[in-house]
Structure 1
Amino acid sequence: MPLLLLPAVISIRGQLKSNPSENEEKEAQAQLIKSDEMQRLRSLALDAFESSDYTAAITFLDKILEVCVWDAELRELRAECFIKEGEPRKAISDLKAASKLKNDNTEAFYKISTLYYQLGDHELSLSEVRECLKLDQDHKRCFAHYKQVKKLNKLIESAEELIRDGRYTDATSKYESVMKTEPSVSEYTIRSKERICHCFSKDEKPVEAIRVCSEVLQMEPDNVNALKDRAEAYLIEEMYDEAIQDYETAQEHNENDQQIREGLEKAQRLLKQSQKRDYYKILGVKRNAKKQEIIKAYRKLAMQWHPDNFQNEEEKKKAEKKFIDIAAAKEVLSDPGILCV
């Protein structure tokens, strides 16, 4: 790290040796005191950085940069501290300033691009790495990173186009390729699974949709898109309570979303309708069925929908509800008093 602020100190000391007026001397002395303070803070910041005390280093650098606003190297140092502290967006802000303050700052553009990439923002990552290559088309790290980002960007754009065309199976394959291309960055795994969950829901594959959406929501419990898509899948599976719960959670985070509001109203309406149970329909028997037919139908369906027959958690939950309905239908329809109603 080169000596920062030193040229300013030398300049001020020079003024004091050139027979200045009283006012000029006072101003120069004040500037010198301020410069000495800046040098002291700079030393403290560097010591803190070397000791891995990045919070302290940031505090010292904040004070210096209030005065030395245009110092690119200090901004780059603070950006490194922000990266170490897990605050990439603050680091990006400092690096963007540094890229403008220092000519041909390929390193700043490279770091900005890699930070955006880690955040899952492939489009901005691609834009920034291109700026690096404009300055130096032979920059090895920028070129290698450019190829990686471009490949990922192409896969995602292709997947989104397939979704727009309603080709959900093909889109799912593309997003699976995204996860294989960049398994080390969790953001791409989450975003890919979110879109796969959407594809399954739109393609009316509720079991798969519920499974993948649930994986997303384990990582991001407040993911509104995954909540909406899982709610739609629950509706297909006639799991109305679960659908209502997801829509209500989504609405807490986006109360003005018309799709959520309409979905919630639909789920509530369907739940109300489902509570008016047609027990004959549940057992698949005619309304004039005899008790023996009812028992036979019950045994067959009870064996088919017994929860122990299902391993998948969502399928087991659905089976439990079916099993309860089947048992209730058998109990009601086996009662001669109700059969006469």
Structure 2
Amino acid sequence: MDNCLIAMLMFLCIFCIDKVCFATDTITRDKFLRDGDTLVSNGGTYALGFFRPGNSQKRYVGIWFHNVPEQTVVWVANRNNPIDDSSSGVLRVDRRGNLAIFNGNSSNPVWSTSVISSPTVTCKLLDTGNLVLCDQNKGDFLWQSFDYPTDTIISGMKTGFNRKTGFNWSLTSWKSPDDPSNGDFVLRLDGRAPESFLSKGSSVIIWRTGPWNGQTWNGIPLMTSNFIFHYSFINSLDEISFTYTSKNNSIFDRLYLDHLGLFHRATWFEDTRRWNIFFSAPGDACEHYGKCGVFGSCNSDNAMICSCLPGFEPKSPIDWDLKDGSQGCVRKR
């Protein structure tokens, strides 16, 4: 055999061993993911790897749409524990059977699934965008990324909470386009109405969906089941949750909470090569929760958008004149 051909085959063998995760959707104890490698789901819909958001010099492990040229991250593992850009990050299954991110040669992970695992565990990126840790012998999911949403919901994910365990599936915004750590805004489902609330921090409510009426959230016609998307709501003794699923796998769609506190639904249009936003909330000033307070009426077409109902007057005339009607109205004497 020609010496050059032998040398080339040896090089390819070494390269394939070194980059063994390139051609698979699975991470095992023997197959790990280095910074610069990309894990792609079996159908080619989603990809997982290290990324650097915006102008940041920090590195994160995330999942994004593989076939969308504008990298759109839908989930971040170590959002509050980045690694330095200059170091060599590794994502692998550790000796305890947990998926973990390591910074260089450090033996202490910066992020880990931290669950009771199994010696026969494997990690797989499904074509739904769900990253799962499962027992090869039993096939059970020991952990899944769908249980830990960041700022985005994709088809098959849900928001809500488990009534038995108290486990909550909620969205938390990025701090900024350069920083995916926990931001100021949270979208969570409240089981009493039931409806979803968008808040700043844990107490300041900004917007709400209105209660679920059996088919859709009141006031959000663009989130009604149709021939492309199906929206479902579960309200049982075990859990209360909202899920949407796409009926067409070729359509890339997402619901996300941005760093400014706006909740959007966007679909990728291949013809224009951009995300088309179908819905944003709050849409105008009158959609802000409690904008005109109790016994107040809101009309965004008026210069003074807040007015009091008949027989009532502003509780704080000074604030009212400054276009702050949050204290509402009181009955006229």
TM-score bucket of the superposed structures, by smaller chain: under 0.3
Structure with bigger helix share is 1
Asked which structure has the greater RCO (Cα within 8 Å, sep 6+), the reply is 2
**Rg larger for:** 1
